[in-house]
Amino acid sequence: MSARPRHEPERAAADLAVVLVDWYRENGRDLAFRRSADPYAVLVSEAMAQQTQAERAAAYWERFMTRFPTIDALAQATPADVLREWQGLGYDRRALALWRAARTIRDEYDGRVPDSIDELERLPGVGPYTARAVAAIAFGQGVGAVDVNVRRVLGRVIGGTTGIRDAATRAAADAGASAIDPATWTHAVMDLGATVCRPRDPRCDVCPARPFCRYPLDEPHATVVRATPMPPFPTTSRWLRGRILDRLREARAEDWVALDGPIGGHTLERVHAATEALASEGMVEIGHRSASAIHARLALA
C-alpha cells in the first residue's frame, strides 16, 4: 500500500524537523529527565512538566525518581509520601493522579507502562498531550505531542499566525515526529518554542526555520497572549489549598494538625471549606472537627 500523500502543512513540518536536528544538537537544553527513555521515568517527567517550566521540573524529577525509582515503589507509597515529595512543584492534584496511575499500571498492566495511546489516556491524569509524549519519547512512535509551545511553533512556521486548526496541528506534529527520531522531535520543537519561538519577542533572527517560516517579522508581538501561567495570588483558592498542604507536610505523617484560624486573607470558614475539598479529592484525611477547628493530615491511604 502506498503512503498517504502529505499536505503542505505536513511537508513543512517535515522540513522543520530536518533543520531542528542540527539545531537541537547545538542548542538543546540539558535536562536530567532527557537522559532516560524508561517509560515510567518519562511518565513522571511529563506529569511534572504540566504547567511547570521544564528546568524546574527537571530538578524535582531527579529527587522524585530517587525516592520512587519504580512503578512499584510509587504504587506502594501513601498519598502523604507522594505529596511530601511533590512539595514546591504546585498543582498537587498532579501528584495524586500520578500515584493513582502507578497503582493502575501495577494492578492492570503488570507494572509496565502501556504503549498504546488509547490505554495511556485511560490512566489517571494522562491527557492527549502526555499520552503522545510518552508514546514518542519512551516507545519511539511517530506521533507528535501538541502543547501550547508546539501549537505556537507550527502555527507560525506553517500558517504565519499563532495557531492553526487542531487537526492540522496534530497532523503536522505527527509528520515532524515521523521525519526524525520521535523523541528528538519532541524535545527539539519544545525547546524551539521555549527559547526561540517565544510567545513574546520571538528571536526570529536565530531561528533555524526562518528561511521558510511564514510568520511575518513585523507582527505586533506585544499582543501575543502570555503562555506561562502566573503564580497564584494569595486571594485565590489555589493559594489557600497550597498553604494548607504545606502546613500538613510540616507535621509528622501520623500527626493531626489543627486548622483553627484564618490563613492569609482567608477566613476560618474558607479554610475549612478548602480542607473539606482536599479531603474529597483524597489528598488529606480529616479527624476531629468542630465549628472552631478541623484536625487534618495528609492522606495515608
Residue range 116-123: average pLDDT? 97
**Residue 106: CA atoms inside 13 Å, Cβ hemisphere, count?**
14
Cα separation, 81 vs 71, whole angstroms: 14
With a pLDDT cut of 90, the percent of the chain lying above it is 71
> 79-83, 109-113, 194-198, 216-220: which has the minimum mean pLDDT?
216-220
Residue range 23-38: average pLDDT? 94
Query: CATH assignment of 237-298, given 3.30.559, 1.10.3710, 1.10.10, 3.30.70?
Result: 1.10.10
Kindly indicate the confidence band of residue 289, based on its pLDDT and cuts at 50, 70 and 90. confident
Residue range 213-231: average pLDDT? 59
Q: Where in the chain is the domain with CATH 1.10.10?
A: 237-298
Count of Cβ atoms closer than 10 Å to residue 206 Cβ: 11
Q: Read off the C-alpha cell for 129.
A: 498531550
> 69-83, 120-134, 145-159, 179-193: which has the minimum mean pLDDT?
145-159
Q: Which residues are catalytic?
A: 46
Kindly indicate the confidence band of residue 2, based on its pLDDT and cuts at 50, 70 and 90. very low
Nearest to 247 by CA among 300, 295, 288, 301: 295
Question: Residue 159, SS3?
Answer: helix
Q: What pLDDT is recorded for position 259?
A: 95
pLDDT of 69 > 80? The answer is yes
Whether CATH 3.30.830.10 fits 12-206: no
pLDDT of 226 > 80? The answer is no
Q: What pLDDT is recorded for position 9?
A: 73
Q: Where in the chain is the domain with CATH 1.10.340.30?
A: 12-206
Question: Residue 43, SS3?
Answer: helix
pLDDT of 225 > 70? The answer is no
Taking a C-beta distance cutoff of 8 angstroms, is the pair 169, 132 a contact?
no
Count of Cβ atoms closer than 10 Å to residue 60 Cβ: 21
Cα separation, 161 vs 199, whole angstroms: 12
pLDDT of 134 > 80? The answer is yes
Q: What pLDDT is recorded for position 219?
A: 55
Kindly indicate the confidence band of residue 14, based on its pLDDT and cuts at 50, 70 and 90. confident
Helix (H) or strand (E) holding 258: strand 257-259
Kindly indicate the confidence band of residue 227, based on its pLDDT and cuts at 50, 70 and 90. very low
Q: What pLDDT is recorded for position 162?
A: 60
- pTM for this entry: 0.82
Cα separation, 285 vs 3, whole angstroms: 56
Residue 282 DSSP symbol: T
Q: What is the dihedral of CA 152, 158, 163, 165, to 10 degrees?
A: -130
Residue 258 dihedral angles phi and psi, to the nearest 5°: -80, 120
Kindly indicate the confidence band of residue 3, based on its pLDDT and cuts at 50, 70 and 90. very low
* Average pLDDT of the chain to the nearest whole number: 89
Q: What pLDDT is recorded for position 252?
A: 87
Kindly indicate the confidence band of residue 7, based on its pLDDT and cuts at 50, 70 and 90. low
Region class of 150: left (phi > 0), else alpha (psi between -120 and 50), else beta: alpha
- What separation in angstroms does the CA of 19 have from each of 16, 25, 78, 145, 189? 5, 11, 46, 19, 11
Q: Which is higher by pLDDT, 238 or 78?
A: 78
